[in-house]
């Protein structure tokens, strides 16, 4: 019975981690200016444990979100800035009614001409999924994980859109 209520863990879905709208528009100096260079720290999901975020899925969610914000440059060599993201930690509960997941991601934006960091921040973002989101514990953890990553990326994009550039 416990296994039935727990369910099997599934990996976080890119579409549920991507930010699709922003209340701000990208300044001209950031239009198509940021490429995603390195994404590290992700882990593959073990179906017998809890939902995780792979580095590939995290990279895709970052790229989709940056593109939706109007700042993404697909070609690394053509970009004005390189984004480096390290998923330092996913704090996930093992059980509970309300599942709160907190993602800690270190972002660094490097100016490609000077090699200097123009932005560096560790962003922590919690997100809670309740029993009303799903009766299955593993599903609530996945929903909370996706929501936490999405919120984290949204905070990054807000910072980037306010960033002072030359």
Task: Write the pLDDT tens digit of every residue in 92-151.
Answer: 998 889 999 999 999 999 999 999 999 999 999 999 999 999 999 889 999 999 999 999
Domain ranges of the chain: 2-162
CATH class of the region 2-162: alpha beta
Half-sphere exposure of 50 (CA within 13 A, CB side): 18
pTM beyond 0.75: the answer is: yes
Is the pLDDT reported for residue 3 higher than 50? no
Contacts of 18 (CB under 8 A, 6+ apart): 60, 61, 64, 65, 68, 150, 153
State the burial class of residue 118 (Cβ atoms within 10 Å of its Cβ: 0-12, 13-18, 19+): middle
């Amino acid at each position: 019975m416990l296994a039935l209520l727990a369910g099997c863990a599934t990996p976080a879905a890119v579409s549920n981690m991507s930010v699709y709208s922003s209340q701000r528009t990208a300044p001209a100096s950031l239009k198509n200016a940021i490429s995603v260079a390195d994404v590290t720290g992700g882990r593959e999901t073990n179906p017998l444990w809890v939902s995780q975020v792979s580095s590939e899925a995290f990279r895709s969610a970052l790229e989709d979100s940056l593109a939706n914000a109007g700042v993404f440059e697909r070609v690394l060599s053509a970009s004005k800035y390189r984004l480096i993201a390290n998923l330092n930690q996913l704090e996930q509960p093992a059980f509970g009614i309300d599942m709160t997941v907190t993602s800690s991601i270190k972002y660094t934006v490097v100016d490609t001409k000077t090699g200097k960091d123009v932005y560096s921040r560790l962003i922590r973002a919690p997100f809670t999924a309740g029993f009303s989101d799903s009766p299955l514990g593993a599903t609530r953890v996945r929903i909370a994980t996706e929501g936490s990553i999405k919120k984290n990326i949204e905070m990054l994009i807000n910072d980037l859109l306010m960033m002072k550039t030359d």
